Structure 1
Amino acid sequence: MPGETLHLHLLAKAPLPGRAKTRLAPLLGPEGAADAHAQLVRHCVANACKALPADHITLWTALDHTHPLFGELYEHFGVTLAPQPEGNLGTRIRHALNSASGPAMVMGSDCPSITSDLITACAQQLHTHDVVMLPAEDGGYGLIGTHRDYPGLFELIPWGNDRVLSATRQRIEALGLHASYPATVWDVDRPEDWQRWQATRAPV
């Protein structure tokens, strides 16, 4: 970005059976759900690296920081690896956003509807807005970006339910911030989400 280096942060769990994408297990089994999670993380990192140089991308790891998947992504793409801190989702998002100076965006690794073009569009919107956000169909959001620290964006948010987006938008308005919402996205949590992604993926 002209004048400032934008950084993109990706949050990802290690693909451990019984610990990752557990709501896919009824369809895929614990091992299959973990493999599905690994596919989503690979897809996310590849899309991110189409939108931004790898040295502007950090993959924040959880559960098992030395998992082979993370080593594979580091070797293949050259992204930076860092362990997620303890705390709720808001704490981890805020930590990533503030880990370096300048504008930054954070996204999860299970939202394949966030394409490289959409990442680029969000980066462009951050030129002229205080906050950029991609609302998710399930009432959360798939990406958030800021120029500087706004602690109130992440405090007392009901993480893990369908009021995350509405609560955050209310906080944005209360703080008087100028926000952009370029698109609504969807993530993969349930069997029907997985089937939706499989139906929309281009043949290999």
Structure 2
Amino acid sequence: MSESIAVFAKAALPGRVKTRLTPVLSPEQAAAFHQACVEDIWRTALALVGEGARLYTDEPFEPWMDLAGPDCVRYQKGPDLGVRMLNCFEDLAQEGFRRMMIIGADSPQVPPAHYREGLDLLVSEKDAVLGMSSDGGFYAVGCRKPRRMMFRDVHWSTELAYSETRAAFELAGLSLKSGMYTHYDVDTPEDLERLRREPSLGPRLHAWFRANPRTS
């Protein structure tokens, strides 16, 4: 196995996930939406890298065990997102992976080919990739050899996350490869309606939208 994709996913608990959607969704609907996103993204990761897929959760959550199996579920470790991602990359490197990517659950509309293109850009040990989100964050990050300083001084969950991570990569000696597409996160009711119109959603999201025809 030379490639890995780690899906970062919070436990799908009502009131804990997708809270910015609760003006139009109940906490239970928002949790079910998050779970559908994770399930579809997990299937994408599995299709792309097979046994190299990992699911990193923030806390024990039985549906993630059922989805990925106990051998593929890991726990996020660290006080902030940067430390958790660095620890993930270091874990994957210790498993022997040479191309590694972390993806979140906020952009379920990203085509598998766009992740594939990002992995293929990782050629040398200095290479890294970032898939930019339209809100200034990023939906994917990849590298071949993690560096201790690669996420230093980044203000997470802000519009500065992408630009500050780029700067941190440069200081850490990583070469950011261009080529990944920009996508959007599904954070607001407007984003949710935009997602509904996407032509190629996964089966779990299709089922969720059929069960929730009115969300505005």
Give the structure-2-normalised TM-score: 0.83
CA distance in 1, matches of 2:53, 2:134: 26
Q: Tell me, what secondary structure is at the counterpart of 1:172?
A: helix
1:56 matched to 2:52: yes
1:179 matched to 2:176: yes
Aligned with 1:132 (options 129, 135, 151): 129
1:170 matched to 2:164: no
> 1:66 is matched with which residue?
61
Q: Tell me, what secondary structure is at the counterpart of 1:148?
A: coil
Aligned with 2:42 (options 24, 42, 45): 45
The 3 A distance-change label for structure 1 pair 16 and 201 is farther
CA distance in 2, matches of 1:153, 1:139: 18
The one-letter amino acid of 2:8's match is L
Give the structure-1-normalised TM-score: 0.88
CA distance in 2, matches of 1:79, 1:58: 9
> 1:33 is matched with which residue?
30
Per-residue CA deviation, residues 45-93 of structure 1 (Å, 9 max, x unaligned), is 111122111x101100124x133x2133125xx8700111131000111
CA distance in 1, matches of 2:88, 2:106: 17
CA distance in 2, matches of 1:135, 1:6: 21
CA distance in 2, matches of 1:79, 1:189: 31
Provide the aligned C-alpha RMSD in A. 1.9
CA contact (8 A) 1:57 1:79 kept: no
Q: Tell me, what secondary structure is at the counterpart of 2:55?
A: strand
Shift of 1:176: 4.2
Structure 2 unpaired stretches of 5+: 207-216
Aligned with 2:196 (options 192, 198, 202): 198
1:20 matched to 2:17: yes
CA distance in 1, matches of 2:65, 2:170: 41
CA contact (8 A) 1:73 1:79 kept: no
CA contact (8 A) 2:148 2:172 kept: no
Percent identity between matched residues is 28
Q: Tell me, what secondary structure is at the counterpart of 1:132?
A: strand
The 3 A distance-change label for structure 1 pair 202 and 176 is closer
CA distance in 2, matches of 1:94, 1:175: 13
Aligned with 2:86 (options 74, 77, 94): 94
Q: Tell me, what secondary structure is at the counterpart of 1:7?
A: strand
Pairs within 5 Å for 1:67-86: 67=62, 69-74=63-68, 80-86=72-78
CA distance in 1, matches of 2:138, 2:130: 7
